[in-house]
């Protein structure tokens, strides 16, 4: 049975902090030197590396690869000419993926190895993964995709594909890491946990340490180099025997009986790993777990939390006093040969002196691993007696251990300084004479008292006095003024639960939300705590559509806002430019205020809708309002609860008040006038006064305790309010508020990307080592801008940097209801089972010709009209038909896109959105860029484009409230920035800092700017 050594975790030249010499040929040359027969490709998700893999490797055994051209490998390592045997070296397709996301109230940073059985599977996987993050920014992509969902994607790609959690104990980026890991594998992978059958232990632990925890007994523990350069290959590796193929490798790791068997591992001494013990590298503090426990996990120098090492974390989770050894999990500990030579020669490991002897030993004895494991000590003595003694001590474990900690590699030495000095003076010593002995096993594995609390606890909600007052108020009308972070949703839910306790009939209860998303989230929460059936919960427009259908017996063809504007323009061809925009805005605002505009433009628009049997959103509300006023709707609800009441137009407010009845009994509205930001859509001014005109006995309750933000953020933002209504923070949080002045939008985007990387704690080990602060997840960060047009340069920079980022996207063309009908017609022709039965009939020969033929045939057949065939959704269908070669291609594309949308939705990313879009959301840290006068407050597009100012002036009070909304989204961090010069729609615009920012308390803001001359950090990144 053939024995072979496998290193299954390697990186390419496309990963950060790696050697630029790394190519498949270079890796094969080094594998020959090291004595490795099976090597992971690493980084197959990177398009550049995948191209090199495809060009330089060819498929051989089932699922493995080797070099296409093995000639000239000596040129890869010019110092060594013995790179023969490369024809025996196989590659397995593998990549490492970094998942950074939030789960269980904590940021998780998990690295996983993914193995694929062929290039077709790799390409299929990469297409799906590319929807979640930028695969070209780093050989090890950074995603906001939870590890469980990543595993699901792997399993769906190919039945032989598998995932192995990487370096499972590393503090910053691992499954069980002290900084961002889980306490149980099942908490991470949930229902798919049984699909994990192997774990990579990492450099700072060995199998014996892992055998202290019985939960790991069922897994195969593998060890790999995680090499970032060829020199580091094989510093840890796996021993296997039997057939060399992908299915055999998978079966061996699964412990299945088959053609291959897992025989054990070759290990670092774990003390040499750079996370073995606890400590603070910057403070020069290194501690054993018992000392850490005595200090309660606090650094005695700086007073901050220590970085808890692998040994301590193993002790924390262990359930055994001594390891239970497994016959199947054999291992031996080695020291890299260049380190051994460096010690005995007294010269650096990369010096000519060391490399010269290294080269000669390879010629005399074969590969490095053969020298370290098998070369007879007596034969090694012929080259160097000191080398022979060093290798013998290493094999016996008689070594001196200087443990690594907090990103600092440890050091293993074979001799005391005195021994080396005596030997160089010609004295000899007996084998093992003065070498330091290992610690006693019992002492080595003695567990200290754990200082780490359960990291997955989530704080319970307990209502305060004013929230309770709001929950029980009534039965008359109630208005709750709930500032940002004051527990508005919890109060609304508490109100519903209290009504349930009092026996309220949910069938006669209505809950109105401002968005469909808010309605879904509220229903999900209520399902966990309330009886079924739940109260009717939705937006006013959705409820109005439902009522229209109920009364008239069929759903109307509903116009989107864009389609409504276009239909108005088509009905009034004499209106152009600003005149058209002004006429449309006047009509829209008048209708939302409950007023009629008896002009010719409105009449033509109404006629056009009537002609094509179309309705807009306001039609739905007016129809419902008319029925409520006439009394034909009746009194259907005993309780009407309204969320975000400040955003309702007068028409909407009158409608919900009408639904509550003449006296307002059971009416409960909650919101914050200081966050009223939809005046341009007709949102009511003087909300409380409007309600009180109808119901003088209205009870007002104000919530003032904030559960989101640090007090400094609340104090800062209150300066924007006319009455400086300061909220009181319930949490003792420390805020960071800063302002950066950039010279250009590009410099601003660079600064934002750098700060976000810092907040994420870096996205790789090398960054975590340099910035060991408490970190947050990508989903905890938002970048908020005043205009959607300002998002592009920031999104491009974050994407290029490899930061998971999400920007609001336009709805795909196939989401349009009338495009969906056309797709159903095509689906029916293709024999698809899910084709809609209500799709219009049309001859197949016309359908086959495509969307343009359908447009000519159906023309103005309801629900279609002349305007539809010109809108963006239909034009998107036309383009897709041409791009994908017909209906079958379009169907495949829409199916794939629907699936990819679901994948994207699962990933946690930095959110880039408008200030309006951020309403109702909260983040740990908020970036507010583009804070120049004219943008914030917004002075209109004409001014930004250098045109004469519009006659319609912006509402400065609303702009101020909008900025207030942006500031109060943050829990602890606000990063503001502005540019002295910005390119906007092709024009360079010189500007200055927003008056809103200048009006904030300046002593609370830390200011910065890039100086002209900046000292460069000349430290070189370690290649691991």
Annotated binding site: 482-489
Tokens of 216: 């790991």
DSSP for 429-473? --TTSSPPPPPPHHHHTPPPPP-PPPTT--PPP---HHHHHHHH-
User: Quick one: which of 854, 823, 849, 852 has its CA closest to 836?
Assistant: 823
- H/E run at residue 911: strand 910-914
Instruction: Name the 3-class secondary structure at 358.
Output: helix
In angstroms, the CA 548 to CA 520 distance is 22
Furthest C-alpha separation in the chain: 113
In angstroms, the CA 95 to CA 113 distance is 6
Residues 793 and 749 sit within 8 Å (Cβ to Cβ): yes
Residue given tokens 């906001």 in the structure block: 144
Return the axis-axis angle of helices 600-611 and 561-571, rounded to nearest 10°: 110
- Provide CB contacts within 8 A for 760, sequence distance 6+: 100, 775, 776, 777, 778, 781, 803
User: Quick one: which of 449, 459, 458, 520 has its CA closest to 489?
Assistant: 520
Q: Quick count: other Cβ atoms within 10 Å of Cβ 632?
A: 9
User: Quick one: which of 106, 162, 140 has its CA closest to 17?
Assistant: 140
In angstroms, the CA 532 to CA 529 distance is 10
Instruction: Name the 3-class secondary structure at 993.
Output: strand
Binding-site entries for ATP:
482-489
- H/E run at residue 711: helix 711-718
Instruction: Name the 3-class secondary structure at 791.
Output: helix
- H/E run at residue 611: helix 600-611
N residues, the chain: 1024
In angstroms, the CA 512 to CA 529 distance is 19
DSSP code of residue 686: S
In angstroms, the CA 366 to CA 82 distance is 9
Classify the C-alpha dihedral 258-259-264-267 as positive or negative. Answer: negative
Kindly report each contact of residues 520-529 with a partner whose C-beta sits within 8 Å and lies 24 or more positions away, as own/partner. 521/489, 522/489, 522/492, 522/493, 522/643, 525/489, 525/493, 526/493, 526/496, 529/493, 529/497
> What are the φ/ψ torsions at residue 451 (nearest 5 degrees)?
-105, 0
| Torsion from C-alpha of 478, 484, 485, 489, nearest 10 degrees | 40
User: Quick one: which of 441, 447, 488 has its CA closest to 464?
Assistant: 488
Instruction: Name the 3-class secondary structure at 385.
Output: helix
Residues 510 and 539 sit within 8 Å (Cβ to Cβ): no
Tokens of 59: 């498929």
How many CA atoms does the CB half-sphere of 248 hold within 13 Å?
19
Strand partners, 96: 113
How many CA atoms does the CB half-sphere of 361 hold within 13 Å?
29
User: Quick one: which of 982, 986, 1011 has its CA closest to 994?
Assistant: 982
> What are the φ/ψ torsions at residue 66 (nearest 5 degrees)?
-145, 170
> What are the φ/ψ torsions at residue 450 (nearest 5 degrees)?
-70, 140
Strand partners, 668: 478, 641
Residues 543 and 512 sit within 8 Å (Cβ to Cβ): yes
């Amino acid at each position: 049975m053939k024995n072979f050594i496998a290193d299954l975790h390697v990186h390419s030249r496309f990963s950060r902090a790696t050697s630029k010499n790394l190519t498949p040929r270079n890796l094969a040359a080094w594998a020959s030197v090291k004595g490795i027969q099976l090597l992971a490709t690493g980084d197959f998700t990177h398009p550049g590396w995948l191209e090199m893999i495809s060009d330089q490797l060819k498929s051989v055994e089932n699922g493995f690869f080797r070099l296409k051209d093995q000639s000239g490998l000596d040129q890869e390592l010019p110092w060594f000419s013995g790179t023969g045997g490369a024809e025996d070296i196989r590659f397995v397709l593998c990549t490492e993926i970094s998942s950074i996301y939030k789960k269980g109230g904590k940021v998780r940073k998990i690295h996983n190895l993914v193995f694929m059985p062929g290039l077709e599977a790799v390409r299929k996987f990469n297409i799906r993964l590319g929807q979640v993050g930028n695969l070209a920014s780093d050989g090890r992509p950074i995603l906001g995709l939870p590890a469980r969902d990543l595993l699901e994607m792997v399993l769906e790609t190919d039945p032989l594909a598998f995932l192995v959690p990487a370096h499972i104990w590393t503090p910053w980026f691992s499954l069980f890491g002290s900084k961002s890991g889980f306490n149980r594998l099942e908490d991470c992978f949930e229902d798919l946990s049984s699909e994990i059958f192997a774990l990579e232990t990492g450099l700072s632990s060995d199998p014996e340490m892992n055998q202290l925890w019985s939960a790991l007994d069922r897994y195969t523990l593998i060890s790999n180099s995680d090499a970032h350069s060829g020199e580091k290959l094989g510093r840890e590796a796996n021993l296997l025997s039997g057939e060399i193929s992908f299915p055999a490798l998978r079966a061996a790791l699964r412990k299945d009986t088959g053609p291959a068997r897992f025989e054990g591992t070759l290990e670092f001494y774990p003390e040499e790993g750079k996370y073995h013990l606890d400590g603070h590298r910057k403070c020069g503090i290194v501690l054993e777990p018992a000392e850490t426990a005595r200090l309660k996990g606090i650094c005695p120098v700086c007073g901050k939390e220590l970085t808890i090492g692998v040994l301590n974390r193993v002790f924390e989770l262990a359930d055994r006093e001594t390891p239970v050894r497994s016959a199947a999990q054999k291992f031996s500990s080695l020291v890299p040969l260049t380190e051994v030579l460096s010690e005995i020669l007294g010269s650096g490991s990369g010096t000519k002196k060391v490399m010269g002897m290294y080269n000669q030993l390879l010629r005399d004895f074969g590969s490095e691993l053969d020298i370290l494991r098998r070369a007879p000590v007596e034969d090694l003595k012929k080259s160097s007696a000191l080398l022979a003694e060093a290798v013998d001590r290493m094999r016996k474990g008689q070594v001196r251990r200087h443990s690594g900690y907090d990103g600092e590699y440890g050091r293993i030495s074979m001799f005391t300084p005195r021994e080396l000095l005596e030997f160089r003076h010609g004295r000899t010593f007996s084998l093992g004479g003065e070498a330091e002995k290992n610690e006693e096993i019992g002492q080595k594995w003695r567990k200290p008292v754990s200082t780490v609390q359960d990291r997955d606890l989530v704080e319970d909600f307990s209502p305060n006095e004013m929230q309770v007052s709001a929950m029980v108020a009534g039965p008359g009308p109630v208005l709750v003024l709930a500032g940002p972070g004051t527990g508005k949703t919890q109060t609304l839910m508490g109100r519903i639960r209290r009504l349930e306790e009092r026996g309220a009939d949910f069938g006669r209860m209505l809950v109105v939300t401002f968005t469909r998303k808010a309605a879904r989230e509220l229903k999900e929460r209520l399902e966990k705590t309330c009886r079924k059936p739940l109260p009717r919960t939705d937006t006013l427009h959705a409820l109005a559509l439902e009522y229209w259908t109920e009364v008239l017996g069929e759903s109307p063809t509903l116009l989107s806002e864009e389609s409504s504007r276009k239909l108005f323009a088509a009905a009034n061809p004499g209106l152009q430019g600003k005149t058209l925009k002004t006429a449309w805005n006047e009509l829209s605002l008048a209708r939302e205020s409950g007023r009629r505009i008896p002009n010719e433009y409105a009449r033509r628009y109404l006629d056009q809708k009537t002609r094509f049997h179309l309705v807009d959103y306001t039609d739905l509300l007016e129809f419902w309002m008319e029925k409520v006023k006439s009394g034909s709707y009746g009194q259907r609800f005993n309780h009407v609860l309204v969320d975000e009441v400040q955003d309702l137009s007068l028409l909407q407010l009158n409608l919900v008040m009408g639904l509550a009845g003449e006296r307002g009994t059971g009416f409960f509205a909650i919101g914050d006038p200081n966050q009223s930001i939809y005046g341009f859509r007709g949102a009511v001014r003087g909300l409380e006064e409007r309600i009180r005109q109808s119901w003088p006995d209205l009870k007002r309750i104000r919530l003032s305790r904030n559960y989101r933000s640090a007090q400094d953020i609340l104090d800062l933002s209150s300066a924007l309010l006319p009455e400086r209504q300061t909220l009181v923070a319930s949490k003792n949080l420390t805020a960071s508020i800063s302002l950066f002045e950039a010279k250009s939008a590009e410099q601003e985007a660079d600064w934002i990307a750098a700060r976000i990387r810092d907040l994420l704690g870096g996205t790789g080990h090398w960054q975590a080592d340099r910035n060991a602060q408490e970190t947050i997840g990508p989903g905890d960060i938002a970048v908020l801008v005043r205009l959607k047009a300002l998002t592009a340069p920031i999104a491009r920079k974050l994407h290029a940097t490899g930061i998971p980022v999400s920007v609001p996207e336009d709805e795909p063309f196939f989401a349009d209801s009338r495009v969906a009908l056309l797709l159903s017609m095509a689906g029916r022709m293709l024999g698809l089972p899910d084709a809609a039965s209500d799709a219009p009939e049309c001859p197949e020969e016309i359908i086959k010709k495509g969307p343009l033929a359908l447009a000519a045939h159906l023309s103005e057949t309801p629900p279609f009209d002349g305007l539809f065939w010109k809108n963006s959704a239909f034009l998107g269908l036309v383009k897709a038909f041409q791009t994908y070669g017909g209906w079958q291609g379009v169907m495949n594309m829409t199916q794939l896109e629907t699936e990819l949308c679901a994948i994207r939705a699962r990933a946690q990313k930095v959110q880039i959105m408008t200030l309006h879009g951020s309403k109702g959301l909260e983040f740990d840290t908020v970036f507010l860029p583009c804070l120049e006068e004219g943008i914030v407050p917004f002075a209109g597009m004409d001014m930004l484009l250098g045109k004469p100012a519009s006659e319609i002036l912006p509402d400065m009070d609303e702009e101020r409230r909008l900025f207030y909304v942006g500031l109060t989204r943050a829990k602890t961090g606000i990063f503001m920035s502005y540019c002295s010069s910005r390119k906007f729609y092709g024009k360079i615009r010189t500007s200055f800092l927003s008056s809103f920012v200048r009006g904030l308390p300046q002593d609370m803001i830390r200011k910065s700017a890039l100086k002209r001359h900046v000292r460069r950090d000349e430290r070189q990144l370690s290649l691991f």
